Structures are given as C-alpha cells and as structure tokens.
Amino acid sequence: MHEWAIAEGVVEALLERGRREGARRITRFTLRLGEIQGVEEELLRFALGELSRGTPLEGAEIRVEREKGRVGCRNCGLEWSPEGEREEALHFLPDLLPLFLRCPRCGSVDLEIRGGRGVWVSSLELER
C-alpha cells in the first residue's frame, strides 16, 4: 500500500513546515494528486488521519485536487490526456509508454509524460 508511504512523507513535510512557521496547529491543506500516480484517495485519507493523531495536524481539513495525466509528443509537440485502458497502462508501466501509445496526430512513439505524476501540497493554512 504505497498510500501509507505517501502519507508519511506528507505528514512529515507538513509538520516540519508548521514548526518552521511557528504554528500551533495546521487547520487545512490541499493535496494535488497526479492521476498517473494511481493513489487511492480513501486509503490516503485514512493513513493521513492515523499518522496525524496527537500532532498539530490532527483534525486538519484535507482537500484533494486531481491533476490529469498528460502525454506529449516530442516529434510534433501535441499534448493530450490518454483515456481508459491506456491511462491505466500508463500508471503501471510509464517507462514503456511507446509500447502501448502512439501520438494521435503523427503516429510517433517518441513520447514523454508531461503531467499527472506525483503528489504535493498546494496550499496550507496554519494557526499560530
């Protein structure tokens, strides 16, 4: 369950930021989740709740925003978001992108992932 490892990193980063800012409590934060990352939001929320118990983060409101997966063609410059089965394959096998995806404009397999990977905190509200 990689959600637990992600939650550990998020909690650690938020608590460190809170300490640096002299916060008594962290009241709200927004997480951006790349769709290619394949994070189960419910599991992530559960892990965040468990790991934040007894800390200044406990009880914070968690907002989640999704970033759509985007692929770009190095040949013609087209950028698009794969859908359905191809999006699922992109999550599990991003390094093998050219094996299951071609540019819809020029047919090239010289592709790169341009968005939708990663997890990051995009906003944070503190109480001092």
> How many domains does the structure of the chain reveal?
2
Amino acid at 59: G
Q: For residue range 46-80, what is the model confidence (pLDDT) as tens digits? A: 999 999 999 999 999 999 999 998 999 999 999 99
Q: Which residues pair with 25 in a beta bridge?
A: 127
Residue 85 structural domain: 70-115
Q: For residue range 19-47, what is the model confidence (pLDDT) as tens digits? A: 999 999 999 999 999 988 889 999 999 99
Please report, for the domain that includes residue 50, its CATH number: 3.30.2320.50
Q: What is the mean pLDDT of residues 99-116?
A: 91
Does 110 share its domain with 122? no
To the nearest 10°, report the CA torsion of 7, 11, 13, 17. Answer: 150
Does 7 share its domain with 52? yes
Does 8 share its domain with 45? yes
Distance CA 42, CA 55 (A): 21
Q: Is 113 helix (H, G, I), strand (E, B) or coil?
A: strand
The model's pTM is 0.81
Amino acid at 12: E
Q: Is 4 helix (H, G, I), strand (E, B) or coil?
A: helix
- Compute CA 77 distance to the chain's CA centroid, rounded to the nearest angstrom: 24
